Amino acid sequence: MSEKSIQEYLRAGKRAHLVGIGGVSMASLAEVLHGAGVQVTGSDQREGASVAKLRQLGISVGIGHRAEYAQGADCVIRTAAAHDDNPEIAAARAAGIPVFERAQAWGCLMQGYRNALCIAGTHGKTTATSMCTHVFMAAQLDPTVMIGGTLPLLEAGHRVGQGDTIILESCEYCNSFHAFFPTVAVILNVEADHLDFFKDLEDVEQSFRTFAQRVPDHGVVVANCEDANTMHALEGIDRRVLTFGVEQGQVHAENLVMDRGYAAFDVVYQGSVYAHVALSVPGMHNVKNALAAAGAAIALGVPGWAVERGLGEFHLPGRRFEYKGEYNGAKVYDDYSHHPSELAALFQMARSLEYRRIVCAFQPHTYTRTHELFDDFVQVLGEPDVTILAEIFAAREDNTLGISSNDLAQRIPGSVYCPTLEEVTRKLREVAQPGDLIVTVGAGDIYRAGEALLAPV
């Protein structure tokens, strides 16, 4: 279905049924549609805080997936996890009710905002989108926001504002961000990932190029000029490109000082200091995320003081180097990193914090990613002092490749393979020592191993 056809359904008086309404992106979508006068109903697999909040707004939510839930709807919008064999999807198709993807709905909605700030990249999207949110909130611009994680400032992964700006984390998987209409598109980095969908790096680059070309003539592409793949993807593009980088770029850092992993620096634009930023989150990768947020702010005319205040008060969203507690004198953190480059940035940052040892419990995410990037995982997972490997988190896949985390363990000297999360927790109890940094890492449910470690016995 075209974007024009979905616009006919997402307006006051129409009923939209959302399948998987409890997810971060779907719940925020439901709130925005409800606020626009659309009659919203939905379904989800289980009860939860987001479902309870939607019901408080007067949105009817059914638990489980039943064909009758979709009856009488003008259109159905589905989360990426809802496939054609879902009873509600099947019933809608049988009844001639149009079925749209979540990204199409967001793309339709963002056309109603003067400014649509879309943050994309292989890594760092959630953090950079969260930083942008802090900046625009500090500037009192009342943005509508959709983030793929829980931001402490919002106590949620989304907010519905009354301002003329919408800020969205924009994912390349299945080319979903091609349904978006950014007026400012941020590209943090481009790497080979999601190789269950993309053919290779060139295919990924083409996807990001198409995303950038969706920016109108009066819009801006904010791009990391220190990332070769990003600049290759944008080569010769006929859009205004505002570059950023730590040392290079139209927006860059000067007078950078690192203190035990935490950075303070001037943001320089057109030869002048636009803002002075002192970050309360560690790591050089967060300096780059902050510069991306500053670039987006410059592109949209936000004053430098809002960047200073917003980034100065910024705290990482959930599962982004999130402090969980202490066990046997070791500090326990959790992190969402699941790509070799993300792991490298995480370990580099962790080293700067001067712990005695780094103990990493890593859960690979998807069989295809583990297989395609196997050698890179072997190299980077050799960096911690202790590496514990949980079994691969399947997510959306079946193990047709016959691959296991034990294959990684065979190649990483001193690493330990633990087939279950219970065994991961037992191993963490065994190795934890005072002065250690323990970090559970991965995009699946590895955080449960750390939480079990900290739970009262």
Provide the Cα torsion 193, 195, 197, 201; round to 10°.
70
CB neighbour list of residue 183: distance below 8 Å, 6 or more residues apart: 114, 115, 116, 117, 215, 216, 218, 219, 220
> Alpha-carbon distance 167 to 161, whole Å?
10
Does residue 253 sit in helix, strand or coil? strand
Q: b/e map of 253-286 (b: 16 or more CB within 10 Å)?
A: beeeeeeebbbbbebbbeeeebbbbebebbbbbb
Q: Which of 41, 122, 126, 150 is catalytic?
A: 126
Q: How would you classify the pairing of strands 165-169 and 322-327?
A: unpaired
Question: Catalytic residue at 230?
Answer: no
Whether residue 126 lies in the annotated active site: yes
| Radius of gyration in angstroms for the set of CA atoms belonging to the chain, rounded to a whole number | 22
Angle at 65 between CA 60 and CA 70, to 5 degrees: 60
Strand 357-362 and strand 436-441: the pairing is parallel
Beta pairing partners, 115: 165
> By CB neighbour count within 10 A (0-12 exposed, 13-18 middle, 19+ buried), where does 35 fall?
middle
Q: Which of 31, 88, 101, 169 is catalytic?
A: 169
Of the candidates 41, 79, 125, 226, the residue annotated as catalytic is: 125
- CA distance to 191, 194, 367, 401, 402, per residue, from 398 (Å): 24, 15, 8, 8, 9
Question: For 174, which DSSP code?
Answer: G
Least Cα distance to 392 among 439, 449, 338, 332 occurs for 338
Strand partners, 418: 390
Known catalytic membership, residue 125? yes
Which DSSP helix (H) or strand (E) runs through 75?
A: strand 75-78
Q: At what angle do helices 304-312 and 125-138 cross, to 10 degrees?
A: 120
Distance from the Cα of residue 409 to its chain's centroid: 28
How many CA atoms lie less than 13 Å away from 423 in the CB half-sphere? 11
For residue 14 the two structure tokens come to 């129409």
- 10 Å Cβ neighbour count for 155? 9
Catalytic residues: 125-126, 169
